[in-house]
Amino acid sequence: MAASPLETFLSTALEQSYALSEPADAVEAIAPLLLDLIQQADTFLEPHHYRSDPHHYTRNLVYAAPDGRISLYALVWLPGQWTPVHDHGSWGVVGVLEGVLEEHSYVRLSPDRGADTGIDLVRGGVILLGPGSVTSFVPNPDHIHKTGVPSDRPVVISLHLYGRTMNSFNTYDIAAGTRQRIEVAHNES
């Protein structure tokens, strides 16, 4: 029996994550694979992958490698739902299945990337990702952003592949100039 599109994608993404030690090389190899996968999402996403919450965006686990090397989530964004300003501490590839996902980037002006205080961030650009779009990021330099959907736009469904089990990330308080590591919840498959 032939492997499903999801199985093929996960096998190849995991193989590439081991073979390519540079995050930029990994996302360059995996982004086209995610582009193909999002076109076939209806063949593997189940109803529980579309769960949402009226209070915050929802992360629904599709796959986590046993060794923590990669993880894949289906995210559901209801109108008006946003992440906090954050970074991932990992590489990642994101594909949009439905709606328009908006990303606001931030640029760190303070030179000490290891500091949790005295962080000076300024707004960067805005990216709008429509259905079929794929974007990627690497951890160095910091990829600091917030992502979501304005209240006047419809629901967004997106797939997020990360170069680790994404159970925590750094959030930023722009006014206070601080960074804090937080745990992030998800729905199990």
What's the pLDDT score for residue 49?
A: 97
pLDDT, tens digit, for every residue of 89-116?
Answer: 899 999 999 999 999 999 999 888 889 9
Domain ranges of the chain: 5-183
Residues 62-85: tens digit of each pLDDT: 999 999 999 999 999 999 999 999
Q: What is the mean pLDDT of the chain?
A: 95
Angle formed by the axes of helices 23-38 and 5-19, to 10°? 170
Instruction: Name the fold adopted by 5-183.
Output: Jelly Rolls (2.60.120)
- Give yes or no for a contact between 176 and 49, defined as CB atoms under 8 angstroms apart: no
Question: ∠ at Cα 144 (155, 148), nearest 5°?
Answer: 10
Distance (Å, rounded) from C-alpha 87 to C-alpha 172? 8
Q: Is the pTM for the entire model greater than 0.75?
A: yes
Residues 6 or more apart whose CB falls under 8 angstroms from that of 167 comprise 183, 184, 186
